[in-house]
Amino acid sequence: MNGPPAVRLQDVSFRYPGGAAGVFDIGLEIAPGELVVCIGPSGCGKTTLLRLIAGFLRVDAGRVELGGRDVTAATVRSRECGVVFQSYALFPHMSVRANVAYPLRVRKVEVGARERRAEAMLELVDLAGFGDRLPGELSGGQQQRVALARALVFEPRALLLDEPLSALDAATRLTMRDEIRRIQKRQNIASLLITHDQDEALSLADRVAVLRDGRLVQVATPQEIYDHPADAFVANFVGRANLIDGEVVAGDAVDTPIGRLAVPARSQPPGTRVRLLVRPERILPQPAAGGENVFAAAVVHDRFFGANREIELAVGRGSLKVETTVRGEITHVHVPRDAVQFLSPP
């Protein structure tokens, strides 16, 4: 990678006065052109993180850099981050064009030039011809496009999106998700997107940052996060997961509530307590007993989603979640040895 990261947080901590909430020891870098999605349950500090980068909040400790420049003590204005808010925050009394041109207006760009640039931005977000409307006359998705255009028109150092899709209906959300991705790539701008939606995180991100109780648990590519979650929390939060506690009986076998599981070999003394992860779609229904890791199963819950089924099975003294395209009755399941992975207990 050439040049400094567009955004760099170094050991950043912030605590809300009079409370325990905040973010702690955050280290995060966003490369130029990279889209990092920060995901976590509500109250985990996602938005706080965004506000610390934008400058609405000042860090208690640590360092914030934008484009290699230390902005830890800089004002919101001088940080020049484009921020997109969940509620869009369009100025209700200004036309769409005036909204988009506003950052240029306060930068004293001459009228003709700023209207041209606003118009070009509106074109980029597919809203050419909407310039004279008022924000109130647009749909939620369109308003969010205007907000995006306004946040990008002044060529900010970074784009920060605070749950930009959560106020939209399901269909618009999918379209806007692709739109954000397209525009972000087109502008090639370092971006941080906040969400609590795992689909959004996995499908949008170059890298996903999982935040829990104000701490970063894991920062990795979507695939890495899904396939090799750092712990049980990440496994459960991103994707569906079977978390199985058990006790090692040999190098490649673990006793669990669902039965004795053959697992990838690992040198652990017998008696060690371990936690295993098996993704539901890795478990295979099987017509009859016989073979390694095949267990008799009884259906507890069966939800049909068209393309696939999500089934909850009672297996031994435990239970398993299974995702499958198999339509018929399910009596046995096979847990492939290589589908089992060890997790560090939370």
Partner 1 sequence: MIPRWITIAYLAYLAAPIVLLFVGSFGDLWLNTLLPTGATVRWYAEVAADPSFRRAFSASLFVAVMTCAACVAIGLPLGYAVFRARSARVRALARMLYQLPVALPPLVLAFGFILVFSSDALPWLGSVWLLIAGHIVLGLPYFLQTVVSDMQRLGLRTLEDAAESLGSSGLQRFLHVVLPALRHSVLSGLIVVAALSIGEFQFSNLVSGFLNRTYPVVLLQAFYGATGFACAATVILLALALTASVTGALSARGTARFATARAGR
The residue ranges that bind partner 1 (CB under 8 A) are 54-56, 76-77, 79-83, 85, 87, 89-94, 102-103, 106-107, 111, 150-151, 154
Nearer to partner 1, 34 or 80 (CB): 80
Nearer to partner 1, 187 or 236 (CB): 187
- Least distance from partner 1 to the Cβ atom of residue 212, Å: 26
- Least distance from partner 1 to the Cβ atom of residue 77, Å: 5
Nearer to partner 1, 80 or 200 (CB): 80
Nearer to partner 1, 52 or 83 (CB): 83
- Least distance from partner 1 to the Cβ atom of residue 45, Å: 18
Nearer to partner 1, 101 or 278 (CB): 101
What whole-number distance in Å separates Cα of residue 281 and Cα of residue 323? 5
What whole-number distance in Å separates Cα of residue 295 and Cα of residue 122? 58
- Least distance from partner 1 to the Cβ atom of residue 205, Å: 22
Nearer to partner 1, 102 or 130 (CB): 102
